[in-house]
Structure 1
Amino acid sequence: MFFMRLGRMLLQDKIITQQQLDAALKRQREVGGRIGTNLIEMGFINEKTLTEYLSKHFEVPSVMLSELTIDRSILDLIPQELATKYEAIPFKREGKILHVAMANPKDVFAIDALRFATGFEIKPYVATERSIKKFLEEHYKSKALEDEVMEEIGAEDELEVVKEEKEEETTSELAAMVESGPVVQYVNQLLKAAVKERTSDIHIEPYEKSVRVRFRIDGVLHEMKPPPMKMFKAVVSRLKVMAKLKIQEKRFPQDGRFEARIDGKRVDFRISTVPTLFGEKVALRILDRSQVSLNLRDLGFEEQPLNHLLRALKNPFGIILVTGPTGSGKTTTLYASLNEINDPEINITTAEDPVEFSIMGINQLQVNESIGLTFASALRAYLRQDPDVIMVGEIRDKETTEIAIRASLTGHLVLSTVHTNSAAATITRLVNMGVEPFLIASTLILVVSQRLVRKICPHCKAPLKINEDDLKKYGFEPERFKDKQLFHGLGCDKCRKTGYAGRIGIYEVLPVTKKIRDLILDRATDIEIEKAAVEEGMITLREAGILKVLRGETDIFDVAKETTLR
């Protein structure tokens, strides 16, 4: 590649040590791959540093493939065989020039072959072998999955849509058209593939000359090969028919739901359509009860925070709040909490938007703001239903907060969610909404702040070597990891080459003690409240993540991404 081997060059420039080079060479002899790939996977150098280094020595521009969203029409300009053979990824086209990421941008034979195959002048950029291989594997696996789906279109493969008791008739000609044929088969296979891949959301997005389909798996979007452009409108119409939406209405957003039986289990789909410049964008939320545990002990709580929550749930009155960003598992925590106290002797009611799962023994209400059924009005109605426990999907305004406080003061246990970044910030948020501090201090029992981190894939889990500078860069104290073995996932077929499989929660649980109540009454800042809580033993989100890193459940990269150092 260079006149001097890469490993020696990195050593000479003091980017790695002799010990690191020896270890990487030993691993290279055992598992193969280029020395740069082995150095990255052992944690001795990061992707960006190596890419910039290669750019400097090749004297060509560099590109970070992980930071790009590449149109599939560009990717398809280089056939799979050539892309794999020459480790080349096209990422941009300008007139007759094709910009290509290459592991060896000085390979004139490769450049000539690509020029001949594509008809474009090739402008090479350098990228690491590891990033190119990862990109190739992810792109062609998603392409293979879609090809498999398309092959099965037309085969006898029915997916049963679970009918509701009252079913409206659809007379639209378009609805009749999409009830049969390859469109039905494509949609069925798309939904089945999404459930099989543990997808939480499906995105179907129209553009001027193409369609994009993406699956959100473990919180990260993965692009799939889309249906033909000519099939797009029929696919959207088929999904709208399944959800009993108005297929003629394309000017306004619509929301709906449907259930389907997939591999013997009932799966709930929530659909949202939004008009965009080139057609309707569709988002499908998949609610697969078999993938969700409603046992608090399975969610990832550390022992001490879990005990705090279990004690709080035994209170006959008061407020318990769960906070975190969208998609952080708040509803699952609320459901698991209700499941913990679900008993024939207790009357439990909920007001949700939407109701994600039905739970036997719990009275669940779907909020519908279009007819005036808001969280606040649902709460007022429930107070006349002799409840013991009330769960409100979200506290969004002062009115809902005041009714929740009134409910707790009159002998009810209230559970709800708030959108804030930490447990302590939840308290100051309530004050900023105009709630009197004495009301918060007298009713709030406990606050749970949470995030979801990805679990390391057990099939490709490997030791991670990382230096002190990189630990500091990610906001960690090196001493915390001294003499500790850390792990990461190398990426394999089982995990779509991501190194991760599934997610688990990390939790920050703040009990409202006498000291915290005094701070609330004094209108203390969230920083002051958090400091006092930590002094009383609260485990922060960052610390909860570190504990999982030390146990080998996740890696420092995902914990750094999901938590902030305060």
Structure 2
Amino acid sequence: MNPAERLSQRILSTAIARDATDIHFYPFESETTIYIRVQGERLLLQTITSSQFDFLLTYYKFTSGMDIGEIRKPQNGIIAHQVHGRHYFLRLSTLPVNQKESLAIRILPQDKQLSLDQLFLFQFQLNKVKSWMLHKAGLILFSGPTGSGKTTTLYALLESVIKEKSYQTITLEDPIEKNIDDILQVQVNEKAGITYQSGLKAALRHDPDIIMVGEIRDKQTAQFAFEASLTGHLVLSTIHAKNTPGTIQRLQEMGLSASDLKQSLIGVASIQLLPILPKSTEKKRAAILEILEGNLLGQAINGELSSITNNKQSFHHMRKKAFIYGFISYDTYESF
């Protein structure tokens, strides 16, 4: 084992032992600072020399299939990793900064099975989302910032539904974050010509009941997802937006008309992760949802709903409920 590999093992083992979701490398002139994110909080891990980071970065770029000589453009890669018999995918991303490159690593556990009951704070919200899955066709969207649990929720939802009934399910992901049994998972690879658009076209020929699109990023992907939902398929996807009205605005900015949205959109659920008051020393987070469906969804599509703050399905109301039930602190209720 070379020095870079040994250093990598030490950093990864420490981060995983502390239940970190991300590792961030900040390069400076003479040293590189390493941070980890635990339960949403950014914490200092350690500092290494610039030469150590250079060797480490080269090792990561080589093992993840990146171009070692390319330092001017952002790059992405995946590494399979194992610690104490547990399997992980490491999603790597580089970013050019000040004649150097920073590195971010997302740690994706492959053995960790999270049920929907473990993810959501309130059972009735889980039941509502599961009821959307009874539709034969249409679009279900989950929104929220990076790290809010959108993809984790999609995976858990698909696994739950497939256990109850056999569905032909195809996912299009960039990257595939977790391998799931009984699902056809397609890795988007633009260099190889497999884009979200081309992948969706091919997936439709495989007679799917359910299609999961990892993320709606642009007008083309949005249009294909909606067309798939209009042709008799149930489509699930994620989109970056801070709340449900913002999700509708983003879709309309991507060129989807009000009539498109009314025909195909089943519901929108924005996710917010809250730190739960610990019953032990272990810190935990759970999700609350801001839900748009039915009349509220119609109002949002028509531009008649800029906020749902006063509604019982809003983040504000759900945080208040969580505080009253003793799940979260007053500071959490006020600060989010």
TM-score with structure 1 setting the length: 0.55
Is residue 450–residue 505 contact of structure 1 (8 Å, CA) maintained in 2? Answer: yes
1:268-287 to structure 2, matched below 5 A, reads 268-277=89-98, 279-287=100-108
Aligned to 1:352: 173
Relative contact order: is structure 1 or structure 2 higher (C-alpha 8 Å, sep ≥ 6)?
A: 2
State how 1:126-525 maps to structure 2 within 5 Å: 179-180=1-2, 182-277=3-98, 279-291=100-112, 293=114, 295-342=115-162, 345-459=166-280, 501-511=283-293, 513=294, 515-516=295-296, 519=299, 523-525=302-304
How far is 1:351 from its partner?
A: 0.8
Match of 2:320 among 517, 531, 546: 546
AA in 1 matched with 2:290: E
Equivalent AA in structure 1 for residue 49 of structure 2 = P
Does the 8 Å CA contact 1:437/1:520 hold for their aligned counterparts? no
Residue 388 of structure 1: how far off its partner (Å): 0.5
**Structure-1 separation of matches of 2:130 and 2:329:** 28
Alpha-carbon distance change, 394 to 244 in structure 1, aligned in 2, over 3 angstroms: closer
* Paired residue secondary structure (2:141): strand
Give the Å deviation of 1:412.
0.7
2-side partners of 1:551 and 1:290: how far apart?
Answer: 32
Higher strand proportion: 2
Q: Secondary structure at the match of 1:341?
A: helix
Contact kept in structure 2, 1:441 and 1:520, CA below 8 Å: no
Q: Describe the SS at the equivalent of 1:227.
A: strand
Name the CA distance, whole Å, in 2 between partners of 1:398 and 1:229: 41
Query: Residues 518 and 242 from structure 1, CA distance in 2 versus in 1: closer, same or farther, beyond 3 angstroms?
Result: closer
Question: Measured at CA, do residues 510 and 225 of structure 1 come closer, stay the same or move farther in structure 2, by a change above 3 Å?
Answer: same
Distance across 2 between alignment mates of 1:302 and 1:402: 33
AA paired with 1:504?
A: A
One-letter amino acid of the counterpart of residue 35, structure 2: R
CA contact (8 A) 1:321 1:417 kept: yes
8 A Cα contact 2:120 2:126, kept in partner: no
Q: Return the alpha-carbon distance in structure 1 between the equivalents of residues 236 and 93 of structure 2.
A: 27
In structure 2, what residue type is equivalent to 1:527? S
The DSSP-based 3-state class of the residue aligned with 2:306 is: helix
Query: 1:526 — aligned with what?
Result: 305
The equivalent residue for 2:332 is: 558
**Partner AA of 1:184 in structure 2:** E
Report the 3-state secondary structure (helix = DSSP H, G, I; strand = E; otherwise coil) of the residue aligned with 2:47: coil
Aligned-partner Cα distance in 1 for 2:50–2:227 = 55
SS at match of 2:104: strand
Q: 1:444 offset after TM fit, Å?
A: 1.1
Contact 2:21-2:106 at 8 Å conserved across structures: yes
Greater helix share, 1 or 2? 1
Q: Which residue of 2 aligns with 1:467?
A: none
Q: Which moved more, 1:268-277 or 1:367-376?
A: 367-376
Counterparts of 2:210 and 2:235 in 1: how far apart (Å)?
A: 6
Q: 2:267 touches 2:297 (CA, 8 Å); kept in 1? A: no
The answer for the alignment partner of 1:176 in structure 2 is none
The alpha carbon displacement at 1:517 in A equals 6.1
Mapped partners of 1:332, 1:248: distance in 2: 34
SS class of match (1:199):
coil
Distance across 1 between alignment mates of 2:257 and 2:51: 58
Aligned length: 335
Taking only aligned residues, the RMSD between alpha carbons, in angstroms, comes to: 2.3
For 1:78-108, what per-residue CA distance to the aligned partner results, in whole angstroms no more than 9, with x for missing partners?
Answer: xxxxxxxxxxxxxxxxxxxxxxxxxxxxxxx
Contact 2:270 2:289 in 1 (8 A): yes
Distance 1:378 1:302, change over 3 A: same
What is the letter of the counterpart of residue 201 of structure 1?
A: D
Provide closer, same or farther for how the CA distance between residues 372 and 247 of structure 1 changes in structure 2, counting only shifts above 3 A: closer
- Superposed structure 1 runs of 4+ greater than 6 Å apart: none
Q: Per the alignment, in what secondary structure is the counterpart of residue 225 of structure 1? A: strand
Cα distance change on mapping 1:240 and 1:315 into 2, 3 Å: same
Q: Is the 8 A contact 1:393 1:416 kept in 2?
A: yes
Letter in structure 2 aligned against 1:338: L
Q: 1:265 Cα deviation (Å)?
A: 0.5
Instruction: Kindly state the Cα deviation for residue 187 of structure 1 after the two structures are TM-superposed.
Output: 1.6
AA aligned to 1:519 is Q
> What letter matches 2:327 in structure 1?
E
**1:434–1:196 CA distance, 2 compared to 1 (3 A):** same
Q: TM-score, normalised by structure 2?
A: 0.91
Task: Read off the aligned partner of 2:54 and give its amino acid letter.
Answer: K
What is the rounded CA distance, in whole Å, between the counterparts of 1:197 and 1:540 in structure 2?
A: 33
Deviations along 1:490-522, one digit per CA (max 9) or x if unpaired, are: xxxx57xxxxx13211111222x2x3465367x
Structure 1 position 301, deviation (Å) = 4.2
Query: Structure 1 residues 346, 260: CA separation in 2 closer, same or farther (over 3 Å shift)?
Result: same
Rg bigger for which structure? 1
Q: State how far apart, in whole Å, the 2-side matches of 1:520 and 1:277 are.
A: 43
What do residues 194-250 of structure 1 show as CA deviations (whole Å, max 9, x unaligned)?
A: 100011111122111222111111112111221234422222223233324343443
Give the letter aligned to residue 227 of structure 2.
R
Assess if the C-alpha contact under 8 Å between 1:440 and 1:520 holds in 2.
no
